[in-house]
Amino acid sequence: MASAESPAATAAPKNWILPKISELSASSEKLAEESQKDETALRTDEMRWQTEERARSEEADRLHQKQEGQMAQMARGAAAEKPLWKMKSAKSTNPPKPCK
C-alpha cells in the first residue's frame, strides 16, 4: 500500500526551498553587479592604456620624422660642400695622390 504523506510533511521542504532559492537569486544578482563594475573598471583602464600607447606611438613617429629630416638636411649640406682640392682657390687643381 502506498503511504499517504501528511500535508505538513510536504509543506516543510517547500517552505525550506523557497527561501534558499530567493537567497541564491539575491546573491547571484549581487555578484553580477560586482562583476559588471569590475568589467567597467577594466575596460576603462584598457581604454586609458590604448590612448597612452597611441600618444607614445605618435610621439615616436614625430621624432623619427624629425630625425630623418635632420639627416637629410645634413646629407644635402655634405653633398653641397666641395673638397678642398676641387675649390678654385686651392693651389693645385689635381686631386691628392694616394699614399703608398
d(CA 95, CA 51): 58
pTM (whole model) above 0.95: no
How confident is the model over 47-75, as pLDDT tens digits? 999 999 999 999 999 999 999 999 988 88
Reduce the DSSP state of residue 52 to 3 states and report it. helix
Q: What is the pLDDT of residue 53?
A: 98
**pLDDT of the residue at 88:** 60
Answer yes or no: is pLDDT of 29 > 60: yes
Q: Specify the pLDDT at position 1.
A: 44
Is 19 or 86 the better-scoring residue by pLDDT?
A: 19
pLDDT of residue 64: 95
Which residue ranges make up each domain of the chain? 11-80
What cell was used for 48? Answer: 586609458
